[in-house]
Amino acid sequence: MSYTAKVLERAIKNNPNEPEFHQAVTEILTTLAPYADSRPQYEKAGILERLVEPERVIMFRVPWVDDNGMTRVNKGYRVQFSSVIGPYKGGLRFHPSVSLSIIKFLGFEQIFKNSLTGQPIGGGKGGSDFDPKGKSDREVMAFCQSFMTELCRHIGADTDVPAGDIGVGAREIGFLYGQYRRLANTVGGVLTGKGLSYGGSLVRTEATGYGLVYLMDEMLRRHNKTFEGKTVVISGSGNVAIYAAQKAGELGAKVVALSDSGGYIYDAEGIDLDAVKEIKEVNRARIGQYTNYRPNAVYTKGSGIWNIKCDIALPCATQNELSESDAEALVKNGCIAVGEGANMPSTLEATEVFLRNKVLFAPGKAANAGGVATSALEMSQNSMRMAWPFEEVDRKLKEIMVNIYNNIDEAAKEAGQEDNFVVGANIAGFKKVAEAMLAQGVV
């Protein structure tokens, strides 16, 4: 049995009941196989065995009191996966579906994503099964303060720097940061995604969505195509989806659909983003309300967004939201490119469909790396006690995304698999991490 196959088998056996983690490890180890199996120094140094085992897993109780005076308890997690190239870095997710398996899959992917940005950041991820939806601001604050009361002893500007993810936006980061500052009696870059008035970076809010479109734009251009005049379908209507839609529109595309966990909207004339921002960012309401703003738009309950005909699809909601049959529907309708704004939104089978049909496919760890890359720029500004202008951060973000494209393209070609950016991203991300591990000895 090959080295990668042995590690994969053991990782699955040793981590039972963690399907999402199994899926992420399977995807990475399978595509890395020809590369890693032909380099015996990796097996000798146990590189893959060490990589699939987090450096540290922290699980904790988060008690808080709701508006009725009742005590509630949630689970808290921080998985510190790898600090071999820099401090652990990765978001916090607050969503009822959060489990150890989901946090481990996200933390594992984060190692390779952060490596791809070219910045000195390691991989980590955290979160809670707390659901901010429907909670008052006071309840969210009480939860965040309790969560940070435990987390604060494990993080630090040079140790572990969390950020936002699903359910953790500007409001939550503000409450978390305030509590950290109070408990640690220190200010600085311990969290990213901070407000502009207390150390945040311009462009961080837009970074993941903009970065996704910058990378896809580069990929399309290298294949003699552009966003101009294309029809785009985007799932989700949160931070990533909104700013991907904005940038795609600026580049001349027409975004016709967005969704949330309740259903999706279709607006043949092109989505009115001001309306979406008011619904989602101001009112924290459901996407279905869009038809109050644009009566000609159609709201459909449930999933099904991938049946809408489009040239470019950008899944920006959550893991495994795009199945094999969704991928087949997209291909049948003439979709030429798919860029993953979310983490692992396509199932393994869906990814296969895209690759088999020569759809230009950018996996999440490359396509959505703009968020964490800009978080690293926020860390740099915090260390220097400076704030760069919007244009400067945006230019750096664009440069980083073009570099990522170049690296994954080159790695795919070197592996003899031109245009297979899954292979390209995994090898390019892995190489740097493996070299750093070899250099640092058995730790």
Rounded CA separation 258/294 (Å): 14
CB 331 within 8 A of CB 353: yes
Residue 347 interacting with ligand NDP (CB under 6 A): no
The catalytically annotated residue of 125, 135, 230, 254 is 125
Please, what is the minimum distance in Å from the beta carbon of residue 323 to ligand NDP?
A: 13
Q: Quick check: 239 binds ligand NDP (CB under 6 A)?
A: yes
Map the footprint of ligand NDP across residues 353-372, applying CB under 6 A: 368, 371
Task: Show Cβ contacts of residue 416 under 8 Å, excluding neighbours closer than 6 positions.
Answer: none
Number of CB atoms found within 10 A of residue 356's CB:
10
In this complex, which beta carbon is closest to ligand NDP, that of residue 36 or of residue 312?
A: 312
Other beta carbons within 10 Å of 198: 12
Site string for ligand NDP, 145-164 (x = CB under 6 A): -------------------x
C-beta of 245: minimal distance to ligand NDP in Å?
Answer: 11
Q: Is-catalytic flag, 135?
A: no
**Please, which residue, 40 or 262, has the CB nearer to ligand NDP?**
262
Q: Is 117 in the site for ligand NDP (CB under 6 A)?
A: no
For every residue of 116-149, DSSP letters joined together read HTTSS-EEEEEEES---TT--HHHHHHHHHHHHH
- 3 state SS of 89: strand
Q: In this structure, are residues 225 and 336 in contact, taking their beta carbons and an 8 Å threshold?
A: yes
Among 408, 413, 415, 409, which residue's Cα sits nearest to residue 429? Answer: 408
Q: Considering only residues 201, 231, 343, 381, which one is a binding residue for ligand NDP as defined by CB under 6 A?
A: 343
- And the tokens for 77? 């997690």
Q: Cβ of residue 228: shortest distance to ligand NDP, in angstroms?
A: 25
Q: Which stretch binds ligand NDP (CB under 6 A): 17-25, 48-56, 260-268, 394-402?
A: 260-268
Instruction: Indicate whether 236 belongs to the interface with ligand NDP (CB under 6 A).
Output: yes
Q: Are 91 and 121 in contact (CB under 8 A)?
A: no
Q: Any contact of residue 192 with ligand NDP (CB under 6 A)?
A: no
Query: b/e map of 362-374 (b: 16 or more CB within 10 Å)?
Result: bbbbbbbbbbbbb
Answer for which of 317, 359, 400, 425 binds ligand NDP (CB under 6 A) is 317
- Minimum distance between the CB of residue 308 and ligand NDP, rounded to whole angstroms? 16
Q: Would you name the residues annotated as active-site residues?
A: 125
Provide the binding-site residues for ligand NDP, judged by CB under 6 A: 97, 164-167, 169, 208, 236-241, 260-262, 316-318, 321, 341-343, 368, 371
